[in-house]
Amino acid sequence: MSVPPSPSAPPGPQVPPQGQATEGAAAPGQSASDQSAPDQSAPGRSAPAPGRARGRRRAATIVTLGVASLLFLGATVRLFVLPRRDDPAPVDAIVMFAGSPGRFEQAVSLARAGYAPTLAVSVPTAEDPCPPPIPNVEVICFAPDPLTTQGESRWTADAAARYGWQSIIVVTSTTQVTRARLRLERCYSGQILMSPVPPPRLMWPYMIAYEWAAMVKALVLQRDC
């Protein structure tokens, strides 16, 4: 008589191999509370939106451009519109730099008023007029070399050394006063009085732009007499 097989034992929980944790179980050294806790490493405040950052940069750019524009405008007024001018006084010579209208008449007027015994007029071209004889005044017409403010300043310094001029009145345009003084002070050590003549109204924009370029040239490229 055959013996019936014994009933198999019900399946029990499977034990994982040693060193392997079951799914959902805490890793060695980590409690269950640590496993379920959210990540606290992220910053509590989010980064600003890209649109807000662009707005701040745009505002900073506008402020910077505004300040630069004000500084440029102030420098333009100080150097070329309202430069330092001097009251006329008796000197050894009156020197007129060639250029915009009105200079010739003012130079002749100062000479006739008796401010100096000598009047020197720059005549870069044959078309530039030389003053007629003035009683008790020596009139000198000269062509500067080069035909620039630098050339006029060099001629003035040479003439001052030749004739003993210790003081001069320089007649030039209002926009050129600052640059002419700069050029002369590099060549001539005597007293310089500037007598500016305002240019015609329509010439102001052009002459200011020209003077900015010429001033940069005098300060950067031509720093000697």
**Amino acid 68: pLDDT:** 87
The tens digit of pLDDT for each residue in 118-176 reads 999 999 988 888 999 999 999 999 999 999 999 999 999 999 999 999 999 999 999 99
Across 51-66, average pLDDT: 81
Q: How many domains does the chain have?
A: 1
> What Rg, from alpha-carbon coordinates, does the chain have?
43
Q: Is residue 167 one of the residues assigned to a domain?
A: yes
Nearest alpha carbon to residue 131 among 96, 100, 156: 96
Q: Is residue 128 one of the residues assigned to a domain?
A: yes
Q: Is residue 156 one of the residues assigned to a domain?
A: yes
DSSP line for 152-210: HHHHHHHHHHHHT--EEEEEEEGGGHHHHHHHHHHH--SEEEEEEEPPPGGGHHHHHHH
Q: Is residue 48 one of the residues assigned to a domain?
A: no
Q: Is residue 147 one of the residues assigned to a domain?
A: yes
Q: Is residue 80 one of the residues assigned to a domain?
A: no
Domain interval for residue 173: 93-221
Q: Is residue 184 one of the residues assigned to a domain?
A: yes
Read off the CATH number of the domain in which 157 is found: 3.40.50
The tens digit of pLDDT for each residue in 97-129 reads 998 899 999 999 999 999 999 999 999 988 888
* Alpha carbons 168 and 165: distance in angstroms, whole number: 7
Q: Is residue 205 one of the residues assigned to a domain?
A: yes
